[in-house]
Structure 1
Amino acid sequence: MKKPGTRHKARKRAVDLLFEAEAKNIKATTLIAERREIYPTDDSVGTMYEYTVHVVEGVTADAAQVDAVISSHLENWKLHRLPAVDRAILRLAVWELLYANDVDIDVVLDEAVELAKELSTDESPSFVNGVLGKVAELAPQVRAAAAAE
Structure 2
Amino acid sequence: MSSARTKARRRALDILFEAEQRDVSPLEVLRLRREATDQTINDYTVVVVEGVMSHLDRIDEILGTYARGWTLERMPSVDRTVLRIGAWELLFNDDVPDGVAVSEAVALAKVLSTDDSPEYVNGLLGRLQQLKPTLLA
Distance in 1 between the 2:63 and 2:55 partners? 12
Moved beyond 2 Å, runs of 4+: 138-143
Letter in 2 for 1:15: L
Tell me which of 60, 85, 96 is aligned to 2:53.
60
Distance in 1 between the 2:69 and 2:58 partners? 20
- Tell me how many residue pairs correspond in the alignment: 137
Partner of 2:76: 83
SS in 1 for 2:91: helix
1:57-87 deviation per Cα after TM superposition (whole angstroms, max 9, x unaligned): 0111111111101101111211010000000
1:20-69 deviation per Cα after TM superposition (whole angstroms, max 9, x unaligned): 11000111111111222233xxx2xx321100000100111111111101
Tell me which of 26, 30, 33 is aligned to 2:31.
33
Residue 69, structure 1, aligned to residue 69, structure 2: no
Is the contact made by 1:90 and 1:112 (CA closer than 8 Å) also made in structure 2? yes
SS in 2 for 1:76: coil
Partner of 1:132: 125
> 1:114 deviation in Å?
0.5
Q: CA RMSD in A?
A: 1.6
TM-score, length-normalised on structure 2? 0.93
CA pair 141-104 structure 1, distance change in 2 beyond 3 A = farther
Is the contact made by 1:27 and 1:60 (CA closer than 8 Å) also made in structure 2? no
Distance in 2 between the 1:110 and 1:104 partners? 10
Letter in 1 for 2:23: N
Distance in 2 between the 1:117 and 1:76 partners? 19
Structure 2 residues without counterparts, runs of 5 or longer: none
- Worse overlay, 24-33 or 120-129: 24-33
Distance in 2 between the 1:23 and 1:124 partners? 19
Partner of 2:18: 20
Larger Rg: 1
Identity of aligned residues (%): 45
Distance in 1 between the 2:82 and 2:48 partners? 12
SS in 2 for 1:81: coil
TM-score, length-normalised on structure 1? 0.86
Partner of 1:5: 3
